[in-house]
Amino acid sequence: MTLPAQASTPAVPETPKAPAAPVGLAPRRRRTTTLPLTAGLLAALVLLCLLSASVGAYELPLGDVLSSAGHRLGLGGAPLDRVGESVLWNVRLPRVVLALLVGASLGCAGALMQGVFGNPLAEPGVIGISSGAAVGAVASIALGLNFLGNWTVTVSAFAAGLVTVLLVYVMSREGGRTEVVTLILTGIAVNAFAGALIGLCVFFADNAQISQITFWQLGSLAGATWPKVLAVLPCALLGLAVAPFFSRRLDLLALGERPARHLGVDVERLRLVLVLVVALLTAAAVAVAGIITFVGLLVPHLLRMVAGPGHRFLVPGSALGGAVVLVAADLAARTVAAPAELPLGVLTALFGSPFFFWLLRRTRRRQGGWA
């Protein structure tokens, strides 16, 4: 018996595959975002610097500022009158340059911290740098130390910040490794201990010392001078120059510690070096400007939202963005309540705290809770 021939199943035409995206498309796409963003930040920084040099209790027309700068640089122009030259070159410009250096240092330090910890909510104060520097400054004020003259508070704050971060790193190290969670928890404990030491210093200080301590803790650039600029310049330039060289390894670390090790990254050494770079940048900034919060948290996260998580742009971009934010904040602190001056740290915290709250809720909503 012959079986009937089965009807042949018609061949289903294959769905044409979408053409593969060119290999260079993602970098090109990133470049189209980062180049305009960098240009915009640079333009904003130049404009804010000119405004900051011009606006104040003693008004200096913008044209006069440019003319005086051109005269000093040998590019033509003419000097201002004696008072105008003194206000511009001895009061305004040191403050603008110090705001640039402090803002860039805090922004870059924040980007490095978030890369090292793999957490967009991290900032330099997490591992106790700011509070350690505060202990050094407050103790030198309360004890009446004057071994370096006007530099005593600045040097004490810088040294105490570096010692604190080294102490945190040593205490959190176990078995030749440093876990991120242990590092953060040790930083929290050190921050609490530093707060207690500051409280003791304030308790034993007299009224004049308490006023000086309070002013320092609130953060300000009112005492900016060229010597202070020169004091923070080497640390800031060194940290800002070294940081971008770790961008690729931070990108690999973002994949996780184990994949990063398989790809050749010495995670422990990378973490130690970057913590030291962060300590250098933050301690130098805090030593001359007091405690200024949220710059290292806000700037890197905002840039990451716009340009993506790649550290090749994020690290230098955060330095540029931090400079923009701090120059703008200092200009606002000088002019909003003129002739009085708002503390710079209070102003940054006033705007930074709501953003941090929004960031927490946004992160929690995306993760579906913390558990």
**d(C-alpha 220, C-alpha 285), whole Å:** 11
Contact 254, 309 (CB under 8 A): yes
Provide the residue range defining the domain that includes 221. 80-357
CATH number at residue 312: 1.10.3470.10
68, part of any domain: no
Quick one: pLDDT at residue 116? 86
Q: Measuring CA to CA, which residue among 215, 353, 360, 189 is closest to residue 289? A: 215
**d(C-alpha 166, C-alpha 273), whole Å:** 11
pTM of the model: 0.84
Quick one: pLDDT at residue 275? 86
Strands 177-178 and 173-174: antiparallel
Rg, the chain, Cα only:
26
**d(C-alpha 107, C-alpha 355), whole Å:** 16
Quick one: pLDDT at residue 328? 95
Quick one: pLDDT at residue 229? 92
367, part of any domain: no
Q: Measuring CA to CA, which residue among 92, 44, 31 is closest to residue 64? A: 92
Q: Measuring CA to CA, which residue among 347, 324, 337, 340 is closest to residue 96? A: 324
49, part of any domain: no
What is the torsion angle, in degrees rounded to the nearest 10, for the CA atoms of residue 306, residue 307, residue 309 and residue 312?
-150
Contact 274, 112 (CB under 8 A): yes
- Let me know how long the chain is: 371
133, part of any domain: yes
244, part of any domain: yes
If one counts every other C-beta atom within 10 angstroms of the C-beta of residue 11, the result is: 6
Report how far Cα 152 is from the mean position of its chain's Cα atoms.
25
Quick one: pLDDT at residue 368? 61
**d(C-alpha 322, C-alpha 297), whole Å:** 10
Q: According to DSSP H, which parts of the chain are helical? A: 25-54, 62-72, 82-86, 93-117, 129-142, 152-171, 180-204, 207-218, 226-242, 247-253, 257-262, 267-289, 295-307, 311-335, 344-367
**Coil, strand, or helix at residue 117?**
helix
Q: Look at the chain and report how many structural domains it folds into.
A: 1
27, part of any domain: no
371, part of any domain: no
Q: Within 13 Å, how many C-alpha atoms sit on residue 66's CB side?
A: 7
- From residue 5, alpha-carbon distances to 8, 9, 258 in Å are 9, 12, 59
Q: Which two tokens stand for residue 185?
A: 């928890």
pLDDT 10s per residue in the chain (371 long)? 444 444 444 444 444 443 443 333 344 545 568 889 999 999 999 999 999 999 988 888 888 889 888 888 888 778 888 888 899 999 999 999 999 999 999 999 999 988 888 877 777 877 788 888 889 888 988 888 888 877 788 888 888 888 888 888 888 777 666 677 787 788 888 889 988 999 999 898 888 888 888 877 888 898 889 988 988 898 899 999 999 999 999 999 888 888 888 888 888 889 889 988 998 898 889 888 888 988 988 899 889 888 888 999 999 999 999 999 999 999 999 998 878 888 898 899 888 888 878 877 876 777 665 44
Where is 178: in which H helix or E strand? strand 177-178
302, part of any domain: yes
